[in-house]
A and B are shown apart, each in its own frame.
Chain A
Amino acid sequence: MERIPILRMGQFLLVTIQVDMHDRLAMQLQDDLTQRISEWNSKGVLIDISTLEIVDSFIGRMLANIAAMARVLDAEAVVVGMQPAVAITLVELGMSLEGVRTALNVESGMELLYELRGDFHEEIGG
């Protein structure tokens, strides 16, 4: 079965969406990520959508679900690389993507993940 690959990079996961996803593929990705986060005890997920030419309400909901699910599993999700035209359209569509962390590119997304987890460890350390 067709699947979107999930790369493991230490305590983080990296997903690069490189196809025009049909709805079932998007659902599959959501399930696979949930599995991987709990199996590998990952602390963060970076989702690179820089090649996505649209984000409609279905994909938007998938991103929001992944973020919510990650939070429940004590991980952070960061969506990176949204094209400006996609962002403009998404706002007009009415999707706010509340609760979804975003960054400009993979590099700053990774920085954000390290920052977030860094804060977290400090908090536990007291």
Chain B
Amino acid sequence: MRSTKRETLPIATSADVVLARQKVRQWAIEMKFTLVDQTKLVTAASELARNALDHGKGGHMVVEAVENTARTGLKLTFEDRGPGITDIEAALRDGFTTGGGMGLGLGGSKRLVNDFHIESQPGKGTRITVVRWK
């Protein structure tokens, strides 16, 4: 996977979550994703940015246009230096929450993208990478 363009945005306030959504929308439009695919990408970004803010004490999002031999895609990376996720399998389960949320952010955003990858170290932070291919 080769990255052709990339940009980083802070996620420190709930206004940043709105900006992150708008940025992903803008890139998805530029890359000519269908309206449904745009909506899926923006919704996943909203969930993961909010998690980085609410559970991960803030961090940043990296937006990247990527390509492999066959296709192009939009890749999003959410990184924070929060408490990390001890049980990733549990956290991915629909309805699981430690914060009084709906517990749909992780499991739901996984369904909205093609590639989904979590790296997390308790006490150090979390990095979630997603790609939606065209």
Contact = CB atoms under 8 A, between A and B. Distances in A.
B14 interface: yes
Contacts of B94: 94
Contacts of A58: 46, 50, 101-102
Judged by DSSP, the binding face of B is helix
A53 B38 CA distance: 10
B17 A54 contact: no
A1 to B, nearest CB: 14
A104 interface: no
Nearest to A60: B102
B14 A95 contact: no
Judged by DSSP, the binding face of A is helix
A56 B14 contact: no
Contacts, number: 72
Contact of B104 (A20, A22, A24, A93): A93
B83 interface: no
Interface stretch (A34-42, A73-81, A82-90, A115-123): A82-90
Interface in B92-134: 94, 101-102, 104-105, 107-109, 111-112
A11 interface: no
Contact of B43 (A20, A21, A56): A56
A92 interface: yes
Interface string A37-72: 000000000000000011111101100000000000
